[in-house]
Amino acid sequence: MNIAKAATLAGAVALCAALSACSGDQRPRTERVDPDMRNESGTIWDIFGSRRSPNEAVAVNRYLWNASLEVLNFLPVQSIDPFTGVIVTGYGTPPGGGRAYRATVQVTDPALDARSLRLSLQGPGGTAVAPDTVRAVEDAILTRARQLRVRDGRL
């Protein structure tokens, strides 16, 4: 039993010695390094951290964001995250409507574009909503976003 422990310990020491010998290469580097690909910070912990600065602006379109909140104002907001661009609402009935809906909106890009808007609607109990209804709500949000942009004079 002691021989097995000694062999394991000797193997571990040999492995550590072999690995430490690999780090002693002091030859000058001759390969070309692309300046866009170099690591600025240089520690292993950087791969676990966020590359974004905490002072960086939010990367969602503000007109789509505000238009989504205005068009869906009859729905109670359950959670909202402007940094990821996600709005989750609870169930609510639109004015003049008889069916309750729930919505999840995601604004994925800073561009005022239909591809930047993702909308999911659910009926009571999670039932599917007709694609025409989803399209009508998307169109209403996009139209309102364009109106907000024109109002700000940024067209």
Task: Please list the pLDDT of the chain residue by residue as tens digits (155 residues).
Answer: 567 666 666 666 555 555 555 555 555 544 444 444 444 555 655 555 555 555 555 678 899 999 999 999 999 999 999 888 999 999 999 888 888 999 999 999 888 889 999 999 999 988 989 999 999 999 999 999 999 999 988 65
Q: What is the DSSP letter of 46?
A: G
Helix axes 131-151, 62-71, angle to 10 degrees: 120
> Residue 148 has which token pair?
């907000």
What is the number of alpha carbons within 13 Å of residue 90 lying toward its C-beta?
A: 3
Q: What is the DSSP letter of 93?
A: P
